[in-house]
Structure 1
Amino acid sequence: MRDAGNVLERLERWYAAQCNEDWEHTYGVKIDTLDNPGWSFKVDLTDTYLLGRSFEKVQEGQNDDHADFLYWEVKDRQFVGYCPPHRLREVISIFLSWAEGPPAR
């Protein structure tokens, strides 16, 4: 589970870097459960350096049993990701790789 701690530490650092005594009062990071079952992961991009940065939508594994679906995109000024119960770290890692990486040219 070392990887899980690393992902969480990276998310903590990213979140703390956005907090400027204003952003955190209106925006933030939200992790919630889905009823199919799974997770939703949403990050408000408003007033961050990520707003306007390109990001490609990905949708994988949408089938009748929803057992191994993955979905993420930037929509309505948010990074949004949805995944099954065992893949939350993966969606958070995808966000962080994009957020910590250089802007696309």
Structure 2
Amino acid sequence: MSDSEQHLLAWLQDWYAKQCDGDWEHEWGVKIATLDNPGWTVEIDLEETDLEGREYPRKDVNRNAQDWVWAWTAEKTFHAACGPGNLSEALAIFRTWATTSAL
């Protein structure tokens, strides 16, 4: 794992820990799962976070059958789906969006 990927995971762990207030983590959270095509899905609940109400318009990046990432928000959740080698890219999209001030 590269240093940047370690920093990305450390950031995500820290973001998650900051949301945990004794209640939030019982209802919401971060979910990472695999797809059968193959690839990954990411769902990050935004309910009762500073990001609730912010939108990330859907972006689809399709390089080839194994190299792709899609990201969007819907129903107070950040969603991403990506190819088998693009999980770090999908999480980096979330981090960039989450740490950029809303316009």
Per the normalisation by structure 1, the TM-score is: 0.91
Distance 1:28 1:68 in 2: 26
Matches within 5 A, 1:59-98: 59-61=60-62, 66-98=65-97
Which ranges of structure 1 fall in alignment gaps of 5 or more residues?
none
User: What's the Cα RMSD here?
Assistant: 1.3
Note if 1:4 corresponds to 2:20.
no
- In terms of fraction of residues, the more strand-rich structure is 2
**Secondary structure in structure 2 of the residue aligned to 1:31:** strand
Per the normalisation by structure 2, the TM-score is: 0.92
| 4+ long deviations beyond 4 Å | none
Distance 1:57 1:18 in 2: 24
Paired residues in the alignment total 102
